[in-house]
Amino acid sequence: MLDLITPQAILPHLKAGNKKQALQELARKASELTGQPERTIFDVLLDRERLGTTGVGHGIAIPHGKLSSLDRVHGVFARLERPIDFDAIDEQPVDLVFLLLAPDQSGADHLKALARVSRLLRDQSMCEKLRGAQSGDAIFALLTTQQEATPAA
């Protein structure tokens, strides 16, 4: 996970009233981290949501998209202050969001990153720990140290 996320890419108390606001805040943070225009990132995320929700169930969403100007896969993790409707497949509100942005030409790297994040967030005890973490540093530590101990499924 260290190749996907940095301590600066953690939003431990994201305030958002709905899916669109959450995506806007994630796009803002991703713009700071990648130097890409916030609006471009937001549009890519909205386009992806129009294809089908990235709310994967159990309070988790993994919005993702591709940008031609990126040099590698970037991640941003947010824990929402209050769960929001994300049109999730199980119709449950979402409070944990892991954004992934990949270069257009990333191909398998993008899919591998999605699979890693999905596998990590399918672990219910991990999600409980993420929900209970008190700080961005604690969330970063959970995301980056647990991964090494999680066997590939």
Domain assignment present for 1 = no
Residue 2 is assigned to a structural domain of this protein: no
110 is catalytic: no
Instruction: Count up the domains in the chain and report the number.
Output: 1
Taking residues 11-35, report their average pLDDT. Answer: 97
The 3-class SS string of the chain reads CCCCCCHHHEEEEECCCCHHHHHHHHHHHHHHHHCCCHHHHHHHHHHHHHHCCCEEECCEECCEEEECCCCCCEEEEEEEEEEECCCCCCCCCEEEEEEEEEEHHHCHHHHHHHHHHHHHHHCHHHHHHHHHCCCHHHHHHHHHHHHHHCCCC
Comparison of pLDDT for 106 and 9, the residue scoring more = 9
Name the more confident of 151 and 120.
120
Does 31 reside within a domain? yes
Q: What is the pLDDT of residue 153?
A: 40
CATH of residue 73: 3.40.930.10
pLDDT at 149 over 60: no
Mean pLDDT of the chain: 93
Range of the domain at 23: 7-149
For residue 33, the Cα-to-chain-centroid distance in whole angstroms is 14
pLDDT, average across residues 105-116: 90
State pLDDT tens for residues 40-93: 999 999 999 999 999 999 999 999 999 999 999 999 999 999 999 999 999 999
The reported pLDDT for the residue numbered 143 is: 94
The verdict on residue 128 lying in a domain is yes
Nearest CA to 1 out of 100, 123, 122 is that of 100
Q: Does residue 121 fall inside a structural domain? A: yes
Note the pLDDT of residue 146. 53
* Catalytic-labelled residue, pool 58, 64, 74, 110: 64
